């Protein structure tokens, strides 16, 4: 991937494209389309897993790796993808990531053997890791810092959250109406259209300081994040105390620690540690990690509850979450209006508290619950708060980032959200399974899901307190300076 980007960037780094800059809304629309595809593919395959297993003869562990191969590659390469955009060009990185993602989707949709599907999913994850940071960087580069950028980030956040929310619905429609292959093949025409639009309209931009890629740092952080993600996904199959889980978890943490030690001594680091010393970057990323650990579980457990307890079909479960999807759009769009009035710290904390209230309500679910009180209204609260919080945290994390570090900061906030979500889902699944035990009744399943939501609500309350204590009161833009 690096050689592709380097070859595409042979001209002087101090030159930019001569084409006229497109309207900001065009850049935002293309970036959001890329982000939608990336997030959609995290969840859309879940509905298709039984059909994939029957068609390709996948084992139970193999079926799990259809999801895990994507998640591990996505989490592992995200920081590298973000820095690649800074060094080799955000447009080129966007195009390379989207092209790889689209081709891998085609390969997965045409797979005839289980291993072919797993390889395609891993390559999809790699493409997504290159693409996702570029989408946010394009948004922040196209719109000046201030209220307009906050609105653009709100759109990016809402579209991304909408992609996660739409996964069950889109997957159900495609599997029921066509075949499982279309949950992957649908990316091909959409990706081709976005590729054509990006090649035609997106301007090129990158850091102009002549820096080279910090290869030792890139290898260490990629290996560390991927190994840590592998350890996290192993918890579902092996448990938290098994050697198959503990060894990769400890190895991943050790590699990340070694990465930080190397970066402290490198003249041109992949991640300048001074970034982590900036209050908005550090606090917003930690808050995003904490919030993500709870919020990512919401779609998973709501879908299981709707299908396994209330008896909804996969398509019915997807439709049941449509109001929640609309609520996250509303929350994301409200955030930029509230931030100048009450301050970003208060908006992030307020959104998190609203989400915590939704989690608390959801934890009162029963085995014979009605749609309005067991799914719709608590889901609306959870996602309304999620939209408020995520938009504000993304705005804070990228505020004041210098042009040479914009891609890295975007990769960092995406990594925090992804790793938090992966860890949170593993922990909450363990908690739910422990409460349910060997019982398979609707009542037992409900008790497990309810405990997961109760735990998630407590995590969000802790996250809100963290935000009030640590997030900056407001952002002050002075060149590339930070916040107070």
Per-residue pLDDT of the chain (484 residues; tens, 9 = 90+): 545 445 444 433 443 444 566 778 888 888 888 888 888 877 778 778 778 888 888 876 677 788 878 888 888 888 888 888 777 877 888 899 999 999 999 999 999 998 899 999 999 999 998 888 888 888 877 777 777 888 888 888 788 777 776 777 788 788 877 888 998 998 999 999 999 988 888 776 655 555 677 788 888 988 988 898 888 888 877 888 899 899 999 999 999 999 999 988 888 888 888 888 788 889 999 999 999 999 988 888 888 899 889 998 877 887 888 898 889 889 988 998 999 899 999 999 999 999 999 999 999 999 999 999 999 999 999 999 999 998 899 888 877 667 677 778 888 888 888 888 888 888 898 899 889 988 878 999 999 999 999 999 999 999 999 999 999 876 543 333 344 4
Same domain for 438 and 330: yes
* Residue 173 near residue 182, CB atoms below 8 Å: no
At 251, give phi and psi (nearest 5°): -65, -40
Same domain for 121 and 27: yes
The two structure tokens encoding residue 259 = 């990465």
Domain total for the chain? 3
Report the SS3 class of residue 437: coil
User: Residues 6 or more apart from 436 whose CB is under 8 A from it?
Assistant: 444, 445, 447, 448
Out of 158, 173, 203, pick the residue that ends a domain. 203
Residue 33 lies in a domain: yes
Same domain for 310 and 290: yes
Same domain for 348 and 247: no
Same domain for 218 and 71: no
Residue 53 lies in a domain: yes
Residue 17 lies in a domain: no
* Residue 422 near residue 338, CB atoms below 8 Å: no
For the CA atoms of the chain, what is the radius of gyration? 21
Residue 209 lies in a domain: no
pLDDT for 403: 65
Same domain for 443 and 363: yes
Same domain for 106 and 45: yes
Residue 396 lies in a domain: yes
Please give the Cα distance from 174 to 176 (Å, whole number): 6
With vertex at residue 464, the alpha carbon angle to CA 339 and CA 277, rounded to the nearest 5 degrees, is 75
Same domain for 388 and 336: yes
Residue listed under structure tokens 């693409």? 131
pTM of the shown model: 0.82
pLDDT for 4: 46
- Here the CATH number for the domain that contains residue 399 is 1.20.1250.20
Q: Which helix (H) or strand (E) holds 214?
A: none
At 143, give phi and psi (nearest 5°): -120, 125
The two structure tokens encoding residue 109 = 């949709």
Same domain for 283 and 265: no
Residue 425 lies in a domain: yes
Residue 420 lies in a domain: yes
Same domain for 150 and 254: no
Same domain for 67 and 114: yes
Out of 229, 250, 269, pick the residue that ends a domain. 269
Range of the domain at 92: 1-6+22-203
Residue 321 lies in a domain: yes
Same domain for 334 and 447: yes
């Amino acid at each position: 991937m690096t050689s592709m980007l380097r070859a595409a960037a042979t001209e002087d780094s101090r030159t930019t494209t001569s084409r006229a800059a497109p309207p900001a809304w065009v850049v935002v629309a293309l970036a959001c389309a890329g982000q939608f595809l990336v997030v959609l593919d995290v969840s859309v395959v879940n509905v298709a897993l039984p059909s994939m297993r029957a068609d390709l003869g996948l084992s139970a562990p193999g079926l799990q790796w259809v999801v895990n191969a994507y998640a591990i590659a996505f989490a592992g390469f995200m920081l590298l993808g973000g820095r690649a955009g800074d060094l080799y060009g955000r447009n080129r990185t966007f195009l390379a990531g989207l092209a790889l993602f689209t081709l891998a989707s085609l390969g997965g949709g045409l797979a005839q053997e289980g291993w072919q599907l797993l390889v395609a999913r891993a390559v999809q994850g790699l493409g997504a890791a290159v693409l996702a940071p570029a989408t946010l960087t394009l948004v922040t580069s196209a719109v000046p810092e201030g209220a307009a950028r906050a609105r653009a980030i709100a759109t990016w956040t809402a579209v991304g959250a909408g992609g996660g929310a739409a996964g069950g619905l889109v997957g159900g429609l495609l599997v029921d109406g066509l075949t499982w292959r279309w949950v992957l093949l649908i990316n091909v025409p959409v990706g081709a259209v976005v590729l054509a639009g990006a090649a035609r309209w997106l301007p090129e931009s990158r850091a102009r300081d002549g820096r080279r890629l910090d290869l030792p740092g890139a290898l260490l952080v990629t290996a560390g994040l991927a190994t840590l993600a592998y350890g996290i996904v192993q918890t579902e199959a092996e448990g938290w105390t098994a050697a198959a889980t503990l060894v990769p978890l400890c190895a991943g943490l050790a590699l990340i620690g070694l990465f930080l030690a190397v970066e402290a001594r490198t003249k041109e680091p992949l991640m300048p540690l001074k970034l982590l010393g900036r209050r908005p970057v550090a606090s917003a990323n930690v808050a995003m990690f904490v919030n993500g650990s709870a919020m990512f579980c919401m779609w998973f457990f709501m879908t299981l509850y709707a299908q396994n307890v209330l008896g909804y079909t996969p398509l019915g479960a997807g439709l049941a979450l449509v109001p929640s999807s609309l609520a996250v759009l509303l929350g994301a769009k409200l955030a930029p209006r509230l931030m100048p009035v009450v301050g970003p710290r208060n908006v992030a904390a307020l959104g998190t508290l609203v989400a915590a209230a939704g989690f608390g309500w959801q934890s009162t679910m029963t085995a014979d619950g009605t749609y309005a009180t067991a799914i719709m209204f608590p889901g609306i609260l959870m996602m309304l708060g999620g939209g408020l919080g995520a938009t504000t945290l993304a705005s804070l994390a990228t505020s004041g980032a210098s042009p040479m570090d914009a891609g890295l900061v975007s990769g960092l906030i995406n990594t925090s959200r992804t790793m938090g979500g992966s860890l949170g889902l593993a922990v909450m699944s363990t908690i739910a399974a422990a409460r349910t035990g060997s019982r398979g009744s609707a009542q037992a399943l409900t008790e497990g899901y309810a405990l997961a939501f109760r735990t998630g609500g407590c995590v969000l309350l802790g996250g809100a307190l963290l935000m009030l204590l640590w997030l900056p009161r407001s952002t002050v833009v002075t060149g590339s300076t930070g916040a107070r």
